[in-house]
């Protein structure tokens, strides 16, 4: 019987909301001028690392459940692309339309937001950082990191699971040492220990490793990430694992809803709620008005994300489900990827 982890959906809703408020408060230039408030909401960037830790958990779980092996690489990548790519590409189109419409707003700061043809083409395959290109929306960098993770886990998971302890330890070392060889935060290696926190938790939950091995690797992950990332990133990531372990069945109606639309919310919040806040920030400048504007922007982003989910994302979910592994193994917990 397939075990569910509702708390993962709740965490996704929280993570997407954290990122929204981070962008709305910190990146609306000249609007929120109280440094203490900006520092509080700056913590919202850690929502990204919640997503990374969740992907570390659920992607290996779905692969184990599907009996993943190299001959199923095409099925694995097909499912990932069908699930994530259509909403991503449509959001790029909406972003380009927003950039055009923004030029007609008399209160918009003059800025060249439109990426060139070369950069737009690099969005296919998430190649922008590999060629020093420019993202249409800054948030896409995390999707690139996730896609790099899918490629790497598709190559290394069978080695870690089916080739004995020594090769599994070698895979661990690749993840733990990767940040010291590639320190550019546009690329997966910087975040490899964060993902590994979730991967090893999956191995433990699926009965593939012993608790002592899990504990040792977890400590090494925290040490490794502590050298290259702010300590808050590691704290949020390990807290995500702990929450999943302690209250796996936790859910509320609001968080479950936000979790369901979290990928859509992540994709469109900047060009919906963020755009509204940017427009209103020139008209409502009193201290008591600013929180109302920020909250209004978030609510609009949620409503637009729900429409985007119903019109676009739900179809990509259906396409992904139609691509099936042929020999489903004994079920282990799964709840979609970090962004799905």
> Over the stretch 303-314, which tens digit does the pLDDT of each residue have?
999 999 999 999
3 state SS for the chain: CCCCCHHHHHHHHHHHHHHHHHHHHHCCCCCCCCHHHHHHHHHHHHHHHHHHHHHHHHHHHHHHHCCCCHHHHHHHHHHHHHHHHHHHHHHHHHHHHHHHHHCCCCCCCCCCCCCCHHHHHHCCCCCHHHHCCCCCCCCHHHHHHHHHHHHHHHHHHHHHHHCCHHHHHHHHHHHHHHHHHCCCCCCHHHHHHHHHHHHHHHHHHCCCCCHHHHHHHHHHHHHHHHHHCCHHHHHHHHHHHHHHHHCCCCCCHHHHHHHHCHHHHHHHCCCCHHHHHHHHCCCCCCCCHHHHHHHHHHHHHHHHHHHHHHHHHHHHHHHHHHCCCCCCCCCCCCCCCCCC
Higher-confidence residue: 112 or 167? 167
Position 3 scores a pLDDT of: 60
Average pLDDT of span 320-340 = 61
- Determine what percent of the chain is predicted with pLDDT higher than 90: 81
**Angstrom distance (rounded) from CA 204 to CA 297:** 41
Q: Which is more confidently placed, 55 or 4?
A: 55
Q: What is the mean pLDDT of residues 96-111?
A: 71
Cα 310 → chain centroid: 20
- At residue 107 the predicted structure's pLDDT band, cuts being 50, 70 and 90, is low
Q: Is the pLDDT of residue 98 over 70?
A: yes
Q: Is the pLDDT of residue 1 over 70?
A: no
pLDDT tops 50 at residue 330: no
Predicted local distance difference test score (pLDDT) of residue 325: 79
Q: pLDDT grade, residue 105 (50/70/90)?
A: low
- The ranges assigned to domains in the chain are 6-322
Burial class (CB in 10 A: 0-12, 13-18, 19+), 206: middle
Residue 170 has pLDDT above 90, yes or no: yes
Residue 76 pLDDT greater than 90, yes or no: yes
**Is residue 159 classed exposed, middle or buried when 0-12, 13-18 and 19+ CB atoms within 10 A define those classes?**
middle
Question: What's the pLDDT at 102?
Answer: 75
Per-residue pLDDT at 115: 84
Q: For 81-94, what is the mean pLDDT? A: 96
Question: Which pLDDT tens digit goes with each residue over 109-150?
Answer: 555 677 889 999 999 999 999 999 999 999 999 999 999 999
pLDDT tens sequence across 198-216: 999 999 999 999 999 999 9
Q: How sure is the predictor about 15, in pLDDT bands with cuts at 50, 70 and 90?
A: very high
């Amino acid at each position: 019987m397939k075990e569910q982890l509702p708390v993962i959906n709740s965490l996704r809703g929280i993570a997407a909301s954290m990122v929204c408020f981070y962008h709305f408060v910190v990146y609306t230039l000249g609007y929120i001028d109280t440094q203490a408030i900006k520092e509080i909401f700056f913590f919202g960037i850690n929502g990204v690392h919640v997503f990374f830790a969740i992907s570390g958990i659920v992607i290996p779980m779905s692969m184990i459940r599907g009996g993943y092996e190299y001959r199923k690489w095409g099925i694995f990548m097909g499912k990932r692309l069908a699930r994530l790519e259509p909403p991503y590409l449509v959001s790029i189109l909406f972003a380009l339309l927003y950039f055009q419409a923004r030029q007609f707003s008399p209160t918009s700061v003059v800025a060249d937001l439109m990426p060139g043809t070369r950069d737009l083409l690099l969005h296919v395959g998430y190649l922008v950082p590999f060629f020093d290109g420019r993202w249409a929306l800054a948030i896409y960098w995390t999707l690139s990191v996730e896609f790099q993770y899918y490629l790497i886990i598709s190559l290394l998971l069978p080695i870690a699971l089916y080739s004995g302890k020594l090769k599994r330890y070698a895979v661990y070392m690749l993840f733990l040492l990767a940040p010291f060889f590639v320190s550019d935060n546009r690329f997966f290696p910087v975040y490899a220990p964060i993902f590994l926190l979730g991967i090893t938790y999956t191995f433990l939950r699926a009965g593939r490793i012993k608790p002592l091995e899990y504990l040792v690797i977890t400590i090494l992950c925290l040490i490794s990430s502590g050298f290259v990332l702010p300590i808050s990133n590691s704290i949020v990531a390990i807290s995500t694992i702990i929450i999943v372990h302690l209250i796996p069945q936790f859910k509320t109606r609001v968080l479950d809803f936000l979790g369901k639309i979290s990928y859509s919310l992540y994709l469109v919040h900047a060009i919906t709620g963020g755009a509204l806040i940017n427009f209103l920030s020139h008209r409502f400048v009193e201290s008591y008005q600013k929180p109302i504007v920020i909250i209004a922007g978030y609510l609009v982003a949620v409503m637009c994300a729900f429409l985007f989910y119903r019109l676009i994302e739900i179809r990509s979910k259906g396409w992904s489900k139609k691509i099936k592994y042929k020999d489903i193994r004994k079920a282990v917990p799964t709840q979609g990827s970090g962004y799905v």
